[in-house]
A and B are shown apart, each in its own frame.
Chain A
Amino acid sequence: AIRMTQSPSSLSASTGDRVNMTCRASQDIRSNLAWYQQKRGKAPRLLIHAASTLQNGVPARFSGSGSGTDFTLTISCLQSEDFATYYCLHYYNYFALTFGGGTEVEI
């Protein structure tokens, strides 16, 4: 199985900040990575797929980068509605899909 490790597990930030969080895969997954945002009591929302492709309707302040084993989600100018938990997901061919443990972005 491919393990996904996110860091940090939580971070404190202020509105207007630039925020980075990382996701590391235990083996090469090429660009088969997605990022999700989850607010309390809600289903996760797709932000990015193929490591860097922004999902339709997602604000341009969100961006993703990386390939292979190391990936980054960046929020360029944090807004109040961005305080949430963010998860990465790998979907590399024929391996069981697995999520990272999440990064909680708090005020």
Chain B
Amino acid sequence: QLQLQESGPGLVKPSETLSLSCTASGGSISSSSHYWGWIRQSPGKGLEWIGSIFYSGTTSYNPSLESRVTLSVDTSTNNFSLRVDSVTTADTAVYFCVRHLGGLVRGVLYMDVWGQGTTVTVSS
């Protein structure tokens, strides 16, 4: 059974870069039927889709965050990563990595597997 686990710093200073990684176990991220993504949840904005990546590197981003977000994937280590540049306090949230159903033809569909989430606080 596939499991996802987020890792990364819990505290980031304003204007710096937030970097998180997600490791998949019990399954391969080199799947033609799935995308791999990030969702965040903050009290002020609820659940927000950040973006998703296919194992080949094809990405899809939320337009509201696209200018600051970069996703990458490393199939050799079965993990994928999130980078958010120039963070502000509004980026404080719980960040979840997820698996989406979908693919290059069907696109990014719903999420069926979630990591447990990691809290990131932006503060000086």
Contacts and interface: CB of A to CB of B under 8 A. Distances in A.
A98 B109 CA distance: 11
**Range for the number of chain A residues in contact with chain B:** 20 to 34
Nearest to A48: B110
Contacts of A43: 96, 114-117
B46 A101 contact: yes
A32 B108 CA distance: 11
A46 B117 CA distance: 15
Interface residues of B, number: 19
A1 B49 CA distance: 12
A55 to B, nearest CB: 7
B62 interface: yes
Contacts of A89: 47, 110-111
Interface in A14-57: 32, 34, 42-46, 49, 55
Interface of B: 46-49, 62-64, 96, 101, 107-112, 114-117
